[in-house]
């Protein structure tokens, strides 16, 4: 009788252990499914912009000027946000958002473009479609009111990717884009900046080291002579990414200098398999590092997240070359990043919930 009781007890115990194991396995399976759903969550759409990076310090900013920058950043990004919210394309959102910043004298693009050494304004821009990998760019134009519009027309209406100088201007006229007198781009603020940069250059040539060093350290316009640019990256409801960049280039530039802004892969890049990026910074170094494309490549080939890839390029690779600046980007899931290694970067972002974030300074 005792042996029968022990046998029944063992059978009952083994049966319960099996049930417990199956239950645990089922619960574990449910957890993995929940994690997968959580990790695969994707924003319906997203948009992020920048208005240039550089030595942007709160101590050098008046409350009125800070308010003006924030208001214009918000105005610009809301234009793109509404397009995306209504089901419009990321390309339209990028172009129309950049138009707002090109038409403002606050930014180094369009109306607020910096001056060349010859006291002219030469503008560059580029745009890219992450769905088709088609792209368009223009460089060195002097009379096209909105260079980003020319970049898009080149992308969609021509067999080319980039046009420059007089040829690009002729094409803009043929395509019915708005042409303005070159004086339209002239602003007193930018002309004054050019004069200070030229003065500093002259002093350095005369070996007036003390004053030159003083100017280098304290004059924000001199420190930011190599910076500028506006840009936008967006994800639309159809899952298509796009990016665009527009700039007046470098203050006091000579000899038809072209920076990274109109170069696909350096200043602008978009790929539906990874992300959309717009750069702002010291163009020569961003070209050498192929910044925008490198971020996308690190995501695709190395499996990094957007944040990890942006940090690798902006905080390590570019500084190792000797350059500085920043990027804004959005990935295929709607994650956004604004990464920079300068004291500040004008920036704003909006997600599909309508949440707006605006930033200027590093902290």
pLDDT, tens digit, 9 for 90 and up, residues 234-265: 999 999 999 999 999 999 999 999 999 999 99
**Percent over 70 (pLDDT), the chain:** 83
**Per-residue confidence (pLDDT) for residue 220, from 0 to 100:** 58
* Confidence category of residue 165, pLDDT binned at 50, 70, 90: very high
pLDDT, tens digit, 9 for 90 and up, residues 43-67: 999 999 999 998 788 888 899 999 9
Judged against a pLDDT cut of 80, whether residue 36 lies above it is answered with no
148 shares a domain with 14: no
Domain containing 5: what range? 1-41
Q: Which residue has the higher pLDDT, 305 or 220?
A: 305
Q: How far is CA 135 from the centre of its chain?
A: 16
pLDDT, tens digit, 9 for 90 and up, residues 19-33: 444 333 333 333 222
Q: How far apart are alpha carbons 228 and 148 in whole angstroms?
A: 15
**Per-residue confidence (pLDDT) for residue 202, from 0 to 100:** 82
| Phi, psi of 28, rounded to the nearest 5 degrees | -65, -40
Cβ-in-10-Å burial (0-12, 13-18, 19+) of 353 comes to exposed
Judged against a pLDDT cut of 70, whether residue 3 lies above it is answered with no
204 shares a domain with 72: no
CB 310 within 8 A of CB 330: no
**Per-residue confidence (pLDDT) for residue 1, from 0 to 100:** 45
pLDDT, tens digit, 9 for 90 and up, residues 122-141: 999 999 999 999 999 999 99
24 shares a domain with 78: no
pLDDT, tens digit, 9 for 90 and up, residues 277-287: 999 999 999 99
**Per-residue confidence (pLDDT) for residue 35, from 0 to 100:** 26
Tokens of 146: 């909105």
Q: How far apart are alpha carbons 233 and 267 in whole angstroms?
A: 12
**Per-residue confidence (pLDDT) for residue 56, from 0 to 100:** 86
**What 3-state DSSP class applies to 65?**
helix
**What 3-state DSSP class applies to 140?**
strand
Judged against a pLDDT cut of 90, whether residue 206 lies above it is answered with no
What is the mean predicted confidence (pLDDT) over 202-219? Answer: 55
- Beta-strand pair 135-141/162-164: parallel
- How much of the chain is in helix, strand and coil states, percent to nearest 5? 45, 20, 30
Sign of the four-CA dihedral 163, 169, 175, 179: positive
Judged against a pLDDT cut of 80, whether residue 319 lies above it is answered with yes
**Percent over 90 (pLDDT), the chain:** 76
The number of distinct structural domains making up the chain is 3
Spell 109-135 as b/e; 16+ CB within 10 A means b: bbbbbbbbbeeebbbbbbbbbbbeeeb
297 shares a domain with 212: no
* Confidence category of residue 207, pLDDT binned at 50, 70, 90: low
CB 259 within 8 A of CB 267: yes
CB 343 within 8 A of CB 318: no
**Per-residue confidence (pLDDT) for residue 25, from 0 to 100:** 38
**Per-residue confidence (pLDDT) for residue 57, from 0 to 100:** 86
Judged against a pLDDT cut of 50, whether residue 338 lies above it is answered with yes
Q: Whole-model pTM?
A: 0.85
Q: Which candidate, 353, 312, 348, 343, places its Cα nearest to that of 330?
A: 348
The reply to whether 187 belongs to the active site is no
Sign of the four-CA dihedral 48, 339, 110, 91: negative
Residue linked to tokens 């972002």: 349
CB 143 within 8 A of CB 173: no
Range list of H helices, 175-281: 188-205, 209-218, 220-223
94 shares a domain with 28: no
CB atoms within 10 A of CB 140: 22
164 shares a domain with 196: no
231 shares a domain with 146: yes
- Average per-residue pLDDT for the chain: 87
Residue after which a domain boundary falls, among 168, 197, 218: 218
**Per-residue confidence (pLDDT) for residue 227, from 0 to 100:** 66
89 shares a domain with 7: no
Annotated catalytic residue within 97, 141, 142, 229: 229
309 shares a domain with 271: yes
336 shares a domain with 356: yes
Residue linked to tokens 């190792």: 320
314 shares a domain with 174: yes
**Per-residue confidence (pLDDT) for residue 228, from 0 to 100:** 75
Q: How far apart are alpha carbons 55 and 149 in whole angstroms?
A: 29
227 shares a domain with 103: yes
């Amino acid at each position: 009788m005792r042996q029968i009781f022990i046998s029944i007890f063992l059978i009952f115990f083994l049966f319960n252990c099996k049930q417990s194991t199956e239950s645990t396995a089922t619960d574990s399976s449910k957890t993995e499914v929940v994690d997968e759903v959580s990790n695969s969550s994707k924003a319906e759409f997203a948009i992020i912009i920048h208005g240039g990076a550089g030595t942007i310090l709160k101590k050098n900013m008046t409350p009125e000027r800070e308010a003006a920058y924030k208001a214009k950043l918000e105005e610009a990004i809301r234009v793109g946000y509404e397009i995306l919210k209504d089901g419009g394309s990321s390309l339209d959102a990028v172009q129309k958002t950049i138009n707002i910043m090109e038409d403002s004298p606050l930014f180094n693009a369009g109306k607020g473009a910096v001056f060349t050494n010859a006291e002219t304004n030469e503008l560059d821009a580029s745009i890219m479609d992450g769905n088709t990998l088609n792209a368009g760019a223009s460089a060195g134009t002097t009379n096209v009111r909105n260079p980003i519009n020319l970049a898009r027309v080149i992308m969609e209406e021509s067999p080319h990717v980039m046009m420059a100088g007089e040829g690009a201007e002729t094409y803009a006229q043929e395509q019915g884009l708005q042409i303005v007198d070159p004086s339209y781009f002239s602003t007193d603020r930018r002309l004054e900046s050019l004069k200070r940069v030229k003065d500093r250059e002259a002093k350095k040539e005369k070996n007036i080291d003390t004053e030159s060093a003083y100017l280098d350290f304290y004059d924000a316009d001199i420190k930011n002579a190599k910076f500028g640019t506006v840009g936008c990256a967006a994800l639309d409801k159809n899952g298509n990414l796009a990016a665009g960049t527009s700039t007046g280039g470098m203050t006091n530039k000579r000899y038809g200098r072209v920076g990274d802004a109109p170069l696909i892969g350096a200043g602008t890049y978009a790929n539906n398999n990874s992300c959309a990026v717009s750069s702002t910074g010291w163009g020569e170094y961003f070209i050498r590092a192929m910044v925008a494309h490198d971020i996308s490549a690190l995501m695709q080939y190395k499996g990094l997240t957007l944040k990890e890839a942006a940090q690798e390029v902006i905080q390590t690779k570019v500084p190792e070359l000797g350059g500085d600046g920043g990027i804004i980007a959005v990935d295929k899931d709607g994650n956004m990043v604004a990464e920079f290694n300068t004291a500040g970067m004008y920036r704003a972002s909006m997600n599909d919930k309508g949440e707006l974030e605006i930033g200027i300074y590093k902290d």
